[in-house]
Amino acid sequence: MVYGAMADVRDEYVIDNTRERIADAAGEIFAERGFDGTTVREICQRAAANVAAVNYYFGDKQRLYIEAVVRAHQWRMEKAQLPEWPAGTPAETKLADFIKTFIHRVRMGPEITWHTRLMMREMAHPSAACAELVQSSIRPQFEILLQILRELLADVSDEDLRLTAFSIVGQCLFYHFADPVIRNLLTGEEYSALDIEKLAKHITNFSLCSIGQADAATRAGATR
């Protein structure tokens, strides 16, 4: 019985390991060549797996691509997680934390991993993976932002609340997508000074002031 149990554990590890190898190899190649430029055979060669393993573990190439995109996003999420706020945490503090975490996720350093390249490909040319990613990962984060803003803006419409959230997200994403332009607009010293702390503080204060929460902006600045 003991030997049988050990064999079951070993087999389960092999299955999980093969699935992981395929998913990682797929992410790397999809990031390099896109969905259409990638073949299942290439993925399996890099993963040292049988070609039939893709259908066994994922169903088809499309589902494997979706899995790779979702994994790429989750990898970035895990690198910078939101803190657990105790009861009574001021909304402006939550907003500052949310913005800082968001910027951490989109500006994680000079190294460009396959996770980043794949996400950029998917955002530039959305596929079915985008819809699944929004439902599984992005929407829950967006709902957190909406809840924070609702604490600050109790009387605005849902539409205005969403537009405010989009504006905040847009500010954070600007420093990722416009990075090559920013680098050329600024001197090396000026660019280096734009660290995550400074950007997060600026976006938080700018956002709070723009929605008529100047006092909250002052409090948020005092707690950072």
Query: Cα–Cα distance between 36 and 130 in angstroms, integer?
Result: 16
Is the pLDDT assigned to residue 12 strictly greater than 60?
no
H/E stretch holding 124 reads: helix 114-124
Query: Cα–Cα distance between 214 and 89 in angstroms, integer?
Result: 18
Q: What is the pLDDT of residue 7?
A: 46
Q: What is the pLDDT of residue 173?
A: 93
Once rounded to an integer, what is the mean pLDDT over residues 149-174? 96
Beta-carbon neighbour count of residue 177 at 10 Å? 14
Q: pLDDT digits over 19-47, tens only?
A: 999 999 999 999 999 999 999 999 999 99
Q: Which tokens belong to 47?
A: 């993963």
Q: What is the pLDDT of residue 111?
A: 65
Q: What is the pLDDT of residue 217?
A: 64
Beta-carbon neighbour count of residue 213 at 10 Å? 19
Lowest mean pLDDT among 7-11, 33-37, 48-52, 88-92: 7-11
Q: What is the pLDDT of residue 219?
A: 67
Query: Cα–Cα distance between 195 and 183 in angstroms, integer?
Result: 13
Query: Cα–Cα distance between 156 and 158 in angstroms, integer?
Result: 7
Place of tokens 């000079």: 110
Is the pLDDT assigned to residue 5 strictly greater than 70?
no
Q: What is the pLDDT of residue 13?
A: 44
Q: What is the pLDDT of residue 120?
A: 87
Q: What is the pLDDT of residue 113?
A: 86
User: Three-state DSSP class for 176?
Assistant: helix
- Indicate the pLDDT class of residue 8, thresholds 50, 70 and 90: very low
Is the pLDDT assigned to residue 108 strictly greater than 80?
no
Q: pLDDT digits over 51-90, tens only?
A: 999 999 999 999 999 999 999 999 888 888 999 999 999 9
